[in-house]
Amino acid sequence: MVSENTLIDEIVSLCKRRGFVFQSSEIYGGFNGFFDYGPLGVELRRNIKDAWWDDMVRRRDDMVGLDSGIIMNPEIWKASGHVDGFSDPMVDCKDSKMRYRADQLFAAEIKVDGDSLGWVCLLESISMQDEAEKKAELIKRKAAKQGKLEAVDLRPFDELTQDEQAQVPSPATGKVGALTEPRDFNMMFETSVGALKDGSSTAYLRPETAQGIFANFKNIVDTGRVKLPFGIAQIGKAFRNEITPRNFIFRSREFEQMEIEYFIPQGEEVWQRYHREWIDTRRSWFGSIGLTSEYLGEEVHPKEKLAHYAKACTDITFKFPFGEHELEGIAARGNFDLSQHQIHSGKNLEFFDEGTKQKFLPHVIEPSLGVDRTFLAVICSSYQVDEVEGEKRTVLRFHPRVAPIKVGVFPLVKNKPELVDRARKLYSNLQQRWNVIYDQSGAIGRRYRRIDEVGVPFGVTVDFDTIEGDGSVTLRDRDTTNQQRLSEEDLFSYLEEKINL
């Protein structure tokens, strides 16, 4: 039994060894939080994105696509709240080495008849007021102070003055002076537009693709002949200057998103219905690309932890070797974004409903998925080490739909030119249709094992029956290792059915 830590190590190692994922800038010593995708990785990524685009956009009547730019008018990020809200002041406790978000840390001065007895500090919680009052009583008793305890007024740490902050004890150790001043972390990458590098030219690399959709909402409504409900989908890179990128490609500074903004009429029961619908739609989609359903979970964000604009948010989670984490977030955002952009741009973004003859800002459901996270989940879900008669077999059980290479073509042996010629011909025929590989080196069993390791679902072997007998070839299945004989025409239709959903 391998421990979970070595499991992810094995996967990282396989990803490099077989050309899926490389550490960015490796020859320069690497670059934290960035990754490159190799020959097999790029195929897998592309297949994941294509599957999503086909299912979410092309095969639906209520969806259209968009590709907005990575760099947009910086006003967009002021409207969306990213310029102010995306920076989280952090406070470190020098004593316990803990780090807190300043707005989640609450402190109050304990006063008895106007005399200060020091401060209390707590992490944000529902019961923090009660706890703070209990602590205050305790402090009063310890100080043996008579008189009236003044009301305990908890305030967020980042709203205190510098002098006040200096008196606040660490919530972990109770020590005064252990906390640092709040330090700003803005997650947006800045750049400057135009050759002149002054403040007025500051722009940002988008931290999410969503805002490009909202910014183009009016364009699409005006030109796209869309009716509510409808969605706008986008796949694209996004950038966040994460404090600590972690867990391989799970959290990186450059990543790719597949996002939908699904616009719906107003109304409490309306968004609740669509929210649930999208959770189910998205969940079943993960099955269609081969994610093991036991690894999938759902996590409903508690109301008090929701962002100010969100009415609800449910995560679809995946049990990674390093823990269960968010794959996709499905948020009900109300009409927050459109109303923000309406205010900031001064343009009317209301939708006119022909049926009800009403003008209003549609509400929105936002299923937002990370390509790289899906990529990792697909690999983790597929990775398996079989024990066959004491021998190990490493296999990636990719769903044929996402497998980077669909078929391996082999002559049974390479020292018979007839076999080689026939196999090469079959190879180039298949190559017109799919990404396939040809391999003639080593024993046939060895070649099967080699393609198992990169998740090729089918192996086709040209043997003596092919050239001397009925022309049939052997089709070997990766998962069962079963073999069957098929004519070349049957082979094509068989593969067609299995690969192209």
Partner RNA sequence: GCGGGCGUAGCUCAGCUGGUAGAGCACCACCUUGCCAAGGUGGAUGUCGAGGGUUCGAAUCCCUUCGCCCGCUCCA
215-244 binders of RNA (CB under 7 A)? 240, 242-244
Strands 458-462 and 407-411: parallel
Residue 474 as a binder of RNA (CB under 7 A): the answer is yes
Give the Cα separation of 282 and 368 in Å (integer).
Answer: 10
Closest distance to RNA from the beta carbon of 76 (Å): 16
Q: Answer yes or no whether residue 92 interacts with RNA by CB under 7 A.
A: yes
* 434-473 binders of RNA (CB under 7 A): 441-446, 448-450, 452, 461, 463-465
257 binds RNA (CB under 7 A): yes
Q: Which residues between 35 and 74 bind RNA (CB under 7 A)?
A: none
Q: Which long-range contacts (CB under 8 A, 24 or more apart) does 396-400 make?
A: 396/14, 396/452, 396/453, 396/454, 396/455, 397/290, 397/455, 397/478, 397/479, 398/44, 398/290, 398/455, 398/457, 399/288, 399/289, 399/290, 400/457, 400/458, 400/498, 400/499
- Is there binding between residue 314 and RNA (CB under 7 A)? no
> Does residue 2 touch RNA according to CB under 7 A?
no
The interface with RNA within residues 117-176 (CB under 7 A) comprises none
263 in contact with RNA (CB under 7 A): no
For residue 496, give both structure tokens: 């067609």
Are the CB atoms for 338 and 349 separated by under 8 Å? yes
CB of 305 to RNA, least distance (A): 8
Per-residue interface string for the shown chain with RNA, residues 337-376, x marking contact by CB under 7 A? -------------------------------xxx-xx---
Kindly provide the b/e burial profile for residues 201-231, where b requires at least 16 CB atoms within 10 angstroms of the residue's own CB: eebbbbbbbbbbbbbbbbebbeeeebebbbb
Cβ closest to RNA, residue 133 vs residue 465: 465
Nearer to RNA, 26 or 130 (CB): 26
Q: Which of 246, 291, 274 is nearest to 398 (CA)?
A: 291
What sign does the CA torsion over 410, 412, 415, 416 have? negative
- Whether residue 56 contacts residue 63, with contact meaning beta carbons closer than 8 Å, is answered with yes
Least Cβ distance, residue 465 to RNA (angstroms): 6
Q: How far is the CB of 139 from RNA (least distance, A)?
A: 26
Residue closer to RNA (CB basis): 218 or 325: 325
Shortest reach from residue 343's CB to RNA, in Å: 22
Q: Which one of residues 11, 48, 51, 90 is an interface residue with RNA (CB under 7 A)? A: 90
Q: What is the smallest separation between the CB atom of 440 and RNA, expressed in angstroms?
A: 7
DSSP3 helix / strand / coil % (the chain, rounded to 5): 35, 30, 35
Largest CA distance in the chain: 106
Region 170-209 residues binding RNA, contact defined as CB under 7 A: 187, 208
- Contacting RNA (CB under 7 A), which of 46, 49, 60, 101? 101
* Neighbouring residues of 126: CB distance < 8 A, sequence distance ≥ 6: 304
Helices (H), 321-416: 336-345, 371-382
Residue in 82, 218, 283, 476 binding RNA, rule: CB under 7 A: 476
DSSP state of 69: -
For residue 482, report the phi and psi dihedrals to the nearest 5 degrees.
-75, 155
Give the torsion sign (CA, 184, 186, 189, 193): negative
Q: Which of 100, 189, 274, 375 binds RNA (CB under 7 A)?
A: 100
Q: Name the token pair of 237.
A: 């890179």
Site for RNA contains 281 (CB under 7 A)? no
Interaction between residue 379 and RNA (CB under 7 A): no
481 lines the binding site for RNA (CB under 7 A)? yes
Compare residues 226 and 420 and give the one whose CB is closer to RNA.
420
Query: Going residue by residue from 14 to 33, which x/- string records binding to RNA, judged by CB under 7 A?
Result: --xx-----x-----xxxxx
